[in-house]
Structure 1
Amino acid sequence: MKQMQLGSSSLHVSNIALGCMRMNELSISDAEKVFRTALDAGVNFFDHADIYGGGDSEDIFARAAGMNDDLREKVILQSKAGIRGNSFDFSKSHILNTVDESLNRLQTDYLDVLLLHRPDALMEPEEVAEAFDSLQASGKVRHFGVSNQHPMQIELLKQHVKQDLIANQLQFGLMHSLMIDQGLNVNMKNDAAVMREGGLLEYSQLNNMTVQAWSPFQYGMMEGVFVGNDKFPEVNKKLSELAGRYHITESAVAAAWILRHPARIQTVIGTMNPERLAGIAKASEITLTREEWYDLYQKAGNELP
């Protein structure tokens, strides 16, 4: 599997990551199969959050992986903090407590990456800076980033934190392509031209932040999976055609569409099915042509200006 540099850090990670949100639904033995399949496919990056499975996903991951010092050196662990019940909380105490709890569940002394999960309207950036400084000084977190934030929120944080923000995890995929749509429909009088996110994709490239694409096979705001869905015959016909051409699965083609973008987007897949995981991982070695990329984009229901 191809590797990439994560933002401005020295971390070299697989360009496909395993999102572990649903690992709490598995037995320890089934979770181990998923973990070993990921490693065998070349995945070295595992994405967590304190709220996944109420914390059980992190616990099951560590137990299934058989976390030890030798293994820990081979994997990159990322977790998130900031969602608290039905509210968001970027207070210093909450961030510090969340990290300690995640470290305990993951059976490790440090996180490679910590992301702030969703924007907190009551964020006091000075408190976030204090939390980051404490976590870095203690060695509990080595790198930092955000999730679901727009450029001005990131700029506000950067005015206060000393650490580079190396990643921004955002929903993105063939059927959730707002970041592409607004870049193509410049100065156009249509819905696609609305700059909802402030040029996130270009901002990320300019600031050397890796975009991590979550829910890459969902359409809308996580309304369902589009691959193999009868609601979307045109894009699925094209996915099937390209799957046959490249001898990969349709889901792998959809992942390859993301990986084709020059922003070097890391794709976070959440399947807990080892066979499906192994199939999607093959997308890492596929480079769609420019014509194939644009054809898929249009078959997904998008019009070029």
Structure 2
Amino acid sequence: MNMQNTLPSPSLLPGSGRLILGCMGMGSDWQGGAVTESHIAQAHAALEAAREIGITLFDHADIYKRGTAEQCFGELLRRQPSLRDDILLQSKCGIRFADDAGPARYDLSGAYIVAAAEASLRRLGVEHLDILLLHRPDPLMEPQEIAEAFSRLRSAGKVRFFGVSNMQAGQMRWLQQALDAPLVANQLEMSLAKLDWLDHDSTFNDPQNTSALPWAGTLQYCQQQGIQLQAWSPLAQGIFSGAKSDRASPTQQATAKLVLSMAEQYAVSAESIVLAWLLRHPAGIQAVIGSTRPDRIRACAAATTLQLSRDDWYRLYLSARGQALP
């Protein structure tokens, strides 16, 4: 396989689906404590629930639980080696915690990208990652240096494809001009609770558009270039699907009631309504489910087959906005 010139499907990386399991909740804790059998059992239950509903792509990052999320998942692979042939592994790098060398920071230097990827491979106990994402844009990143790191990892067979996370169109375009293979994914926060990705376009040239985030053209660029959009925190920590949260605003509480009403109407879970709203967008978004609870993972199953009507999609959008469109 010529990985250097092979472009994945413009909508989905081969072998993946509309739902991804985010593995941030696996492992010990954010202090990097020891991984126990209890942690491994929790991860195994989440993995099996995900596979039951057809999930094949598992999303990691080197920083999740200080590396113990990857370590924990790696133990599952060690105990069931055949599993690696049935799934896709994605990880991210570029965020560094404060240490003796410096403060909490971003680092997309070539040396750090290579070292981080190799460390993820060791923790996971695998020979290659299917996808490696740059976790956050680094103000000091240099496209040519990143390109050389990507080439080194690809040539060594350690990473198949590369992508980004939390980057806008201009940053991707700037990075891509130095690369000899296409970026395949961009992971962004998108949900009923995080609507600027929609509002920036739908309220263009209107006083309502007060967002300073440079969304304009990002979704369109990704679709045009075959860059798979992935949504992190698509369930918005359960605010619209049953979680009791003191942080929920009156608008969010009203939207949660609407979600529950639609769940009854469509005879599916509230989680599936929330995700189906996101998946209804023509950009072909993948949703990264961040829960490790098997029941909540299974509750997302119907999202991939449920087709919300245009009117219901707008009911949810307008309710979550809390104000009428211009």
Question: For each residue in 1:194-247, what CA deviation from the matched residue of structure 2 results, as whole angstroms up to 9, or x when unmatched?
Answer: 66323211221122111100011228xxxx834335632321111001111222
**Does the 8 A contact of 2:114 with 2:153 survive in 1?**
yes
Any idea what SS the aligned residue of 2:86 has? Answer: coil
**Does the 8 A contact of 1:214 with 1:267 survive in 2?**
yes
Q: For residue 94 of structure 2, what is the aligned residue in structure 1?
A: 82
Distance 1:195 1:34 in 2: 34
**Does the 8 A contact of 2:240 with 2:259 survive in 1?**
no
Question: For each residue in 1:13-50, what CA deviation from the matched residue of structure 2 results, as whole angstroms up to 9, or x when unmatched?
Answer: 12000000110146211211111111111000100000
1:101 aligns with 2:113: no
Any idea what SS the aligned residue of 2:167 has? Answer: coil
Q: For residue 258 of structure 1, what is the aligned residue in structure 2?
A: 278
Q: For residue 241 of structure 1, what is the aligned residue in structure 2?
A: 261
- Matched to 1:253, the amino acid is I
Q: For residue 14 of structure 1, what is the aligned residue in structure 2?
A: 17
- Matched to 2:325, the amino acid is L
Any idea what SS the aligned residue of 2:325 has? Answer: coil
1:1-305 equivalences in 2 (<5 Å): 7=10, 11-25=14-28, 27-66=39-78, 69-85=81-97, 86-191=104-209, 196-218=214-236, 225-228=239-242, 229=245, 231=249, 232-300=252-320, 301-305=322-326
- Matched to 2:239, the amino acid is V
In structure 2, relative to structure 1, the CA distance for the partners of 1:267 and 1:166 (3 Å cut) is same
Any idea what SS the aligned residue of 2:300 has? Answer: helix
Distance 1:250 1:203 in 2: 31
**Does the 8 A contact of 2:201 with 2:216 survive in 1?**
no
Distance 1:8 1:252 in 2: 21
Q: CA deviation at 1:186?
A: 2.2
Distance 1:53 1:46 in 2: 16
Distance 1:154 1:225 in 2: 31
**Does the 8 A contact of 1:90 with 1:120 survive in 2?**
yes
In structure 2, relative to structure 1, the CA distance for the partners of 1:7 and 1:69 (3 Å cut) is farther
Identity %: 39
Q: CA deviation at 1:191?
A: 2.9
Distance 1:250 1:10 in 2: 27
In structure 2, relative to structure 1, the CA distance for the partners of 1:249 and 1:8 (3 Å cut) is closer
Between stretches 170-179 and 242-251, larger displacement belongs to 242-251
Which runs of 5 or more residues in structure 1 are unaligned? none
- Matched to 2:51, the amino acid is L
Q: CA deviation at 1:100?
A: 0.7
Q: CA deviation at 1:67?
A: 5.8
Superposed CA RMSD in Å reads 1.9
TM-score (norm 1): 0.92
Q: CA deviation at 1:54?
A: 0.3
- Matched to 2:163, the amino acid is G
Which runs of 5 or more residues in structure 2 are unaligned? 1-7, 29-37, 98-103
Distance 1:243 1:65 in 2: 36
Any idea what SS the aligned residue of 2:299 has? Answer: helix
Q: For residue 101 of structure 2, what is the aligned residue in structure 1?
A: none
Any idea what SS the aligned residue of 1:60 has? Answer: helix
Q: CA deviation at 1:156?
A: 1.0
Q: CA deviation at 1:92?
A: 1.1
Q: CA deviation at 1:119?
A: 0.4
- Matched to 1:74, the amino acid is D
TM-score (norm 2): 0.86
Distance 1:137 1:144 in 2: 13
Distance 2:323 2:301 in 1: 26
Distance 1:67 1:91 in 2: 34
Between stretches 182-191 and 238-247, larger displacement belongs to 182-191
**Does the 8 A contact of 1:29 with 1:64 survive in 2?**
no
Question: For each residue in 1:126-147, what CA deviation from the matched residue of structure 2 results, as whole angstroms up to 9, or x when unmatched?
Answer: 1101100001101100000000
Q: CA deviation at 1:282?
A: 2.1
Q: How many correspondences in the alignment?
A: 297
